[in-house]
Amino acid sequence: MKYLDQSGFSLMLSVASTWFKRGSGQQFRIPTRWGSQGRLNLIGTYSFQGELPQLEVRALTGSCTQAQVMAYLDTLAEQCEPERLTVIVLDNTAFHRGKAVQEKRVEWEAQGLYLRYLPPYAPFLNLIEGVWKQIKGFLMPRLSYNSLAELEAALRVALNAISARFI
């Protein structure tokens, strides 16, 4: 089984706090240094097909879309071996369940790739969430990265530490 998920790795801001009068209608905003260009997204699967679990990832440009999920699933379907059952476990994100995904299921199943969905509101059942937590919480330095390139370098070091495979 493979657990599919996507995760955003955002540049971290310095910790700050402020007080303002309640009900004033004002909202305090902390400006970001990089805006939408300071975000890196990954889509990945956590595979249990060998002796050890294997994380497979793909970096995404911009927000994760249904088209990107489908392209990733196409890549996985091409790698399927007909004699070996491959099951992808997805959460209930709208772009995992969309019409285009449902229409493509028959084709993927013919290639040996089957989709199954977790129950609603049960992210704790998705084993890849623990992998994302390990990467973000332990393998990457907690700091404000000065550039997207620095963030990408730190992420690559973390992914290499757990032998992730880019697909």
Residue 79 has what pLDDT? 92
Mean of the per-residue pLDDT values of the chain: 81
Report the Cα 100 to chain-centroid distance in Å.
20
Q: Which tokens sit at 144? A: 């404000």
Confidence of residue 96 (pLDDT cuts 50, 70, 90): confident
Q: From CA 110, how far away is CA 123, in angstroms rounded?
A: 28
Domains of the chain by residue range: 2-6+40-166
- pLDDT > 70: percent of the chain: 77
**Across 2-6, 91-95, 103-107, which has the greatest mean pLDDT?**
103-107
Mean pLDDT of 95-122: 91
| pLDDT of 112 above 60 | yes
CA distances from 143 to 8, 134, 146, 150, 151 (A): 16, 16, 9, 11, 10
* Locus of tokens 């390139």: 149
Mean pLDDT of 124-150: 85
Element counts in the chain: helices (H) and strands (E): 5, 6
**Does the domain made of 2-6+40-166 have the CATH classification 3.30.420.10?**
yes
CA distances from 101 to 64, 66, 105, 132, 154 (A): 14, 8, 6, 24, 33
* pTM, entire model: 0.77
Mean pLDDT of 112-124: 89
Between 140 and 37, residue with greater pLDDT: 140
Mean pLDDT of 129-155: 86
